[in-house]
Structure formats: C-alpha cells, structure tokens
Amino acid sequence: MNLLEGKTYVVMGVANQRSIAWGIARSLHSAGAKLIFTYATERMEKSVRDLAATLEGQESLVLPCDVTSDEDVASCFKAIKEAVGTIHGVAHCIAFANKEELKGEYLNTNREGFLLAQNISAYSLTAVAKEARTLMTEGGSIVTLTYLGGERAIKNYNVMGVAKASLEASVKYLASDLGKDGIRVNAISAGPIRTLSAKGVSDFNSILREIEERAPLRRATTTEEVGDTAVYLFSHLSRGVTGENIHVDSGYHVL
Ligand code: 0WD
C-alpha cells in the first residue's frame, strides 16, 4: 500500500541503524515516500549517507543540521527548498542530555544541563516547525518522539523527562498554531528501545525487562512498530488527528 507515494519527508536524528529515526525512514520508504535526511555533526555524516544509500530506488538528499543553531536550521531548510520546493512533513527524532544527569536524583540537575536538554530535546521542535512550515505549502504532518518519562517520574530519566513534558506541551501549542495551514503535529511515545541515546540512561536494561514482563503485549517495542505508526500519522488515514500523543509501547502506559 503506497500511502505516501509522491510525498517528501525530512527525517532528522538518524545516528545508526538502531536509531528510531531509521525505523521511521524504512517504513516511510516502504510506503513510497521520498526522503531527505539531516545529521547533527560531521561524525554522523558517513553513517547517515551509508544508510540512506541502502534505500532502493531513491537517492536521498543528506544535509547537516545542528538544531542548537538557528542559522543551521534555517540554512538546512533553505537547501531543502532549493532542492525539492515542497515537503509534506518532518520526523523529529532528536534528544540529548548530559549522561551524569540521567541517574540518581533529578534534584541534582544543574541549570546548564537543564537548559541543554530543553534546547536540543524540546525547543528544537519549535525551531524546526517554524522553518518547515514555509515549505509545507500543501499542508502535511510533523511527528516527534517522546517517552512516558514526560508524563510520569520514571527512575533515572530525570532532566530528559522534564524536557519531554515540554516537548509534549509544544506539540499541543504547535498543533494549535499550524492547524489553519493544514499542518498536523503529533507525538509518538515509544516504549524503551536499545539505541545509542538509550545507552545514556542509567540501568536501561531493567526498564526494558519491566516492559517485557509486565506490558500488556509482554514484549519490547521495535523501531518497525514506531515506523509504521509514523506512516499512519504522515498519511491521510490520520487526517483528523492533531495535537495527539500516541503510545507505541506494548500498552505499558495503561498500567
Ligand atoms: O528507548 C528509546 N530509545 C526511546 C527514545 C524511547 C522513547 C523516545 N525516544 C526518543 C529519544 O528521546 C529521541 O527523541 O526517540 C528519539 C530518537 O532517539 P533514539 O533513536 O533512541 O536515539 P539515537 O539513535 O541516539 O538518535 C538520537 C539523535 C542523535 O544521536 P546521538 O547518538 O549522536 O546523540 O538525536 C540527534 C543525533 O543524531 N541529535 C541532534 N540532532 C541535531 N542537532 C542533536 C543536535 N544538536 N543532538 C542529538
């Protein structure tokens, strides 16, 4: 089913083949979409280019975009505009916090660490939406990734949980602003998945084990499951849905 045939999406936050962003990219590709990738630092460039090259039948544009820089975000979307004109959506799969602050008590978060997590993990969605809007002339959909730690105090998630709460509130305000342009904004709250970022969260293994043992579906979330939900959120099937946070976590959030 080529639900996204003729559509172009920007995928931000691929670090390697385990990245949730890469799961999303594969699902969007299978649904017939054309993809553009962005990477944060030169260190990531090769890995993103190599992965993008594995997508059959398309040569994807791959561009630098450090979301902590307004100039970077603006020049990235300017380059996208010059290359393709119109886009139909963005997958924002970006987060960062200092590793020392992803363990122990949240109370020990310092101002710098707090602002860093907010900057990269929450504000970046607003910065990206502002630029993307100008290219989304046919309307479309913006999807970001969050975690249950934004709704509940989850051990060790700490400053990232506070950033996710801010990200989830941003989804609602952006949905409210952009609805009149036919642009929908939603979040996917993914269950824990073993990625590079997840390695930063202290005792991640026990969080994973808890899902496998107690979640209604009794298994860990996969990047494919998140990717397929992203296809739904990017496609016309979800045309009445905006400002929403869909949990793709084997049902763990109902417990
Ligand atoms: O269990 C998990 N892995 C979950 C992740 C559960 C629920 C949600 N998420 C979220 C994360 O919080 C994040 O928002 O999913 C998103 C993607 O995370 P991921 O796939 O788990 O992690 P990873 O493969 O490491 O990708 C995150 C990427 C960065 O990778 P590195 O490893 O270099 O930090 O975010 C990007 C970068 O590619 N990133 C940036 N992109 C642009 N500018 C920046 C930046 N300044 N900083 C990080």
Question: ipTM for the complex?
Answer: 0.96
Cα distances from 181 to residues 52, 190, 218, in angstroms, run 30, 27, 40
For a ligand 1 pocket test, name from 116, 197, 226 the mutation site with the most ligand atoms within 8 angstroms of its C-beta: 197
252 part of the active site: no
Identify the bridge partners of residue 34 per DSSP, sorted by sequence position: 8
Per-residue pLDDT of the chain (255 residues; tens, 9 = 90+): 699 999 999 999 999 999 999 999 999 999 999 999 999 999 999 999 999 999 999 999 999 999 999 999 999 999 999 999 999 999 999 999 999 999 999 999 999 999 999 999 999 999 999 999 999 999 999 999 999 999 999 999 999 999 999 999 999 999 999 999 999 999 999 999 999 999 888 889 999 999 999 999 999 999 999 999 999 999 999 999 999 999 999 999 999
147 part of the active site: yes
Rounded to whole angstroms, the Cα distance separating 100 from 201 reads 9
241: left (phi over 0), alpha (psi -120 to 50) or beta: beta
Of 147, 173, 232, 252, the catalytic one is 147
Give this prediction's pTM.
Answer: 0.98
Helix (H), strand (E) at residue 37: strand 34-39
